[in-house]
Chains A and B, each alone.
Chain A
Amino acid sequence: MSILELFKAIQTSDLSRFIGSQNHLFCAVAQMFHIAGLILLLASIVLVSLRLLGIGLPNLSVIQLSKATKWLVWSGLGLLTVSGIVIFVPAATNYAPNTFFWSKFILLAIALLLHVTLFRKVTTSENPNPFIAKTTAVLSLSLWFSVAFAGRFIGFF
């Protein structure tokens, strides 16, 4: 089964028909949850990264900040996933030829991989190597911002 056939099957599924039968503002509501999730996620990454880079919150520890934002990161990702499915399913075939759609998910995979490896390691150790901490923050910010940018681009192409 090719990707396009798979996306066609998704678009003609019962779930797709259900979403399609809703008011057009249903999709706007999904977009709102998508942006809410994105803000929770990005703001948390920004907050921790400011500290990792040594340019904010000097009186707080990295561990304290990552603990406080952990649930926000995962609720953000949860909101993004559910609302993203609602946005994707009824128009699945439109996304198949979209370069930014695929770029976004490749970037997302890399961002998530970094998040559960290096980022987690740096934000849970008492005294991370400052160079590694700063590199991780720059990589993490760049990747998550690129995911957001690629996502924003999808609708224009």
Chain B
Amino acid sequence: MVGAVTDPMTTQAVRWRKWMSGPRAWLRSLAGVPVVVVGLLIWQWQTTRHPVFFLPPPLVIARRLKTDWLSGPAHSLFLSHEGLTAIVQTFQTALIGWAIAAALGIIVGSVLGVRPSLAAFAAPPLLLLRSVPPIAVIPIAIVILGLGDSMRTAVVVAGCLWPILLNAVAAVSGVDQVLRDVAALNHLNPIQTFVRVLVPAASPKLFAGLRVALALAIVLSVGAGMFAGSGGLGGRLLTFQNNFDVPGLWATITVLAVLGAIVNWLLLLVERSALRWNIQGETL
């Protein structure tokens, strides 16, 4: 199928799996710690000696991180009330939109993947729809749905649907014909075949699409907030930019990066337990 995402991160997943198996692997990754520490020291030293307007020293950012984000009580994981609200707004819409796109994309993609003739019909329209950058959808969504959560969710769905769908088509059409024949011989109905044969067999590739889409979902949720000028982490970024509050900007970026990494890591954990049967590296 034209335009299926061949995911660079699939290889990363394999590496992660190797990385996360065994204590020696953890030790090995510690080799990077000195590099990070030295990098931070140089950054701190240089920017305090010659202050750069757009790049404050890491300690200044850390202080801002504490006052802006980590000044809350323990029961909310030390997150401040404002910070928590912004995080929830952004990540809730990102995850809900992503889940909707995943459900739609996997179901439609599987149907197309099982019927190559249907896929031939659908390929050019899908290519057209996929080519519309989700950014261009944001203004339309703002005019129709306003500035709220539903707008951000809609934008996330519109952006994430295509990578998931195209990957699902590629994944399902790549499922061994023998498996499908066996399912037919055992008189599985279409739904049973879908749930018990097609989805498991296609899941390594499905997860690749889901992970690409997850990163995109966060970007779009933040981006929609920025475009709308309100709501979540994107809205905060825009406020900081307008106030020329550079440490505040960097603190927000740090929060986004950490949360993005955590969400991605959680998905990898799910993937790892779901794909335990999969021989390492088969996703390559």
Q: Do A and B come from one complex?
A: no
Which residue numbers of B lie inside 8 Å of A, CB to CB?
A: none
Which residue numbers of A lie inside 8 Å of B, CB to CB?
A: none
